[in-house]
Amino acid sequence: MAWMEREIHTVRMGKWDEGIELAKEWQAYWNRVGGRPPERWYRSFYGAENMSVFVVECEWESAAAMEAFNMQQVDDPELQAQRKELLAKSNEVYESIRREVYYVVPQGDAGG
C-alpha cells in the first residue's frame, strides 16, 4: 500500500528565499541518506492555509520503506549531526512545520 507524506511549513515573514534554499539543503540531506522518493513542492496561492505556506510532498511505496528511510538517519551519528544543524536553521526560517502521513486509497476503493 502506498503512503503520501506531506510537510506543511509556515514561512516567517520575509524569509521565502531562505525557505527555498533551506528546502534545497534538506533535499541534499535526503539524497545523502538515500531512498527518499521524489518530492513535489507547493506554495500557497489561496485557501484554508495562510499565504505563507510551503508544502513538500512525496509518495512512498510502503510504510516499511518510509520507516527504513527514517531509521537510516537514527543509526548514523554524522547524519544526526547534519540533521540537527538543518533543524536549527529551520527554526529560524519557519514559524511551524507540521507533518502528515496518509495512505493512498486505490481508485474505486472508498475503504468503507
Hey, where are the domains in the chain?
Answer: 3-103
User: pLDDT tens, 54-112?
Assistant: 999 999 999 999 999 988 888 888 989 999 999 999 999 999 999 999 999 988 766 65
- Answer positive or negative: Cα dihedral of 103, 16, 34, 91: negative
| 3-103 fold | Alpha-Beta Plaits (3.30.70)
Burial state string for 93-110 with b = 16 or more CB within 10 A and e = fewer than 16: bbeeeeeeeeeeeeeeee
Side-by-side strand order, sheet with 53-60: 40-43, 53-60, 3-11, 94-103
User: pLDDT tens, 30-52?
Assistant: 999 888 999 999 998 887 667 89
Predicted TM-score of the model (pTM): 0.84
What pLDDT is attached to residue 20? Answer: 94
